[in-house]
Chain A
Amino acid sequence: MSKQNNMSILLKGLLRENPVFVLILGTCPTLATTSTVDGALGMGLATMAVLICSNIVISLLRKFIPDTVRIPCYIVVIAGFVTIVQMLIQAFIPDLYKTLGVYLALITVNCIILGRAEMFAGKNSVGKSALDGIGMGIGFTIALLSMSIIREVIGTGSFAGNEISFLVENGLTIGFLAKAPGGLLVYGLLIAVVNKITKGKLIKKKEFSCAGCPSAEACNGSCAEAVKEGE
């Protein structure tokens, strides 16, 4: 493998295949944990840790896992790492554990991780899978951070818990951005901005479809059927 190739695997997660803004995976944690910068950073790093570890292990095991039961196997590996990360955070950063709550356990069902296992780690060598995990993890963390900075600074007038006095004193905060509806709004606007900058080149599928869903193969196209039926 050439050096160039490795570099592109690492970098594609940052923008070209950014899991949040382009692949539209892992929407739940993106929306739920970005009301504060601290929570977003914690979530991003925790997900990255699980992603790198699961990518490495799944790639190591890819020749041993029978094709027919690969999804359950991937899920067990991922759930194992999530539990480890959960226990580490509970022991060393209890505050973060409280902030993230149930969303930590829900990293298990984060589509990004299963998606990368299915699309990349199950087919590529250990080194490449690790790089892919790092790239995707950084892309995810950056996306969460950018959303949380917008939401926390404008929503509550603070940055990572430190109050920005001129925003608060002049009443320049828009409180609802830090709440649930604000998350959906900011996410929608950011995707629109990415669309505008790239002139829609990155997001080819304009509609939310099953093609990007990692469980598409597992559900034997019944998702596509369901969507088609509705159209």
Chain B
Amino acid sequence: MDVKALIIILMSSVLVDNYVLNRFLGICPFLGVSKKVNQSVGMGAAVIFVMLVATAVTWPIQTFILNPLNMGYMQTIAFILIIATLVQFIEIFLKKVIPALHKSLGVYLPLITTNCAVLGVTINNITDGYNFLESMISSLGVGLGFLLAMVLFSGMRSRIEESEVPESFKGLPVTLVAASFISMAFFGFAGIVENILA
């Protein structure tokens, strides 16, 4: 296994192809739950966790069940059901077995059920033709990228809360404009992987 290839996948999914800021997946929780830093960290951690588990389950299902049976077209239906069930299961499991973790992540778990970033990353892993290890690394990278964007953005939002905003821009509009600036900052990372690592 080529370690360098894995690092490239990780770095590009964290910085260059950031799901929230570049591909707009998972923008709802990004806008909804990013008011405070600790909240953003909780949500980010929950997303990383669910993405890893979801990939670990959906990749084998696609490779060993759907593909041999020529049922690739069932991908969307199968994946969304698996993710929804999985999230519910994880919640019940954590509540019973690791209550401490459930307390910190539990509230965020149901929000992830219909999060398009989770479905998106599992589908993209298949479309990009990654093997199992590469898929896991890419999911980890996407999750880390989500966490990074959330935390940076929550810092920005606490500044907005304190500033005078024109009436029409109050609430969501100014938040979106701020998100646009962060997205612009991430644009600076374009090409970083090709130029530094490869």
Contact = CB atoms under 8 A, between A and B. Distances in A.
Contact of B171 (A75, A208, A226, A227): A208
A85 to B, nearest CB: 10
Given A223-B110, A226-B111, A181 B28 contact: no
Contacts, number: 171
Given A79-B80, A192-B168, A180 B22 contact: yes
Interface string B107-119: 1101101111001
A126 interface: no
B36 to A, nearest CB: 4
Interface stretch (A3-11, A52-60, A106-114, A131-139): A106-114
Nearest to A190: B173
Contacts of B169: 188, 192, 195
Contact of B21 (A28, A180, A206, A207): A180
Q: Give the interface residue-count category, chain A.
A: 35 or more
Main secondary structure of the interface of B (DSSP, over half): helix
A116 to B, nearest CB: 14
Contacts of A171: none
B24 to A, nearest CB: 4
B119 A109 contact: yes
Given A191-B172, A208-B175, A114 B114 contact: yes
Contact of A102 (B110, B120, B172, B175): B120
Contacts of A223: 32, 107, 110-111
Q: Give the interface residue-count category, chain B.
A: 35 or more
A220 interface: yes
Given A184-B179, A205-B171, A226-B33, 6 more contacts: A176-B187, A181-B180, A182-B180, A200-B168, A208-B175, A219-B110
Interface of A: 24, 27-28, 31-32, 72, 75-76, 79-80, 82-83, 86-87, 101-102, 105-106, 108-111, 114, 176, 179-185, 187-189, 191-193, 195-196, 200, 203, 205-210, 213, 215, 218-220, 222-223, 225-227, 229-231
Interface of B: 21-28, 31-33, 35-36, 38-39, 42-43, 73-77, 80-81, 84, 106-108, 110-111, 113-116, 119-120, 123-124, 127, 166-177, 179-181, 183-184, 187
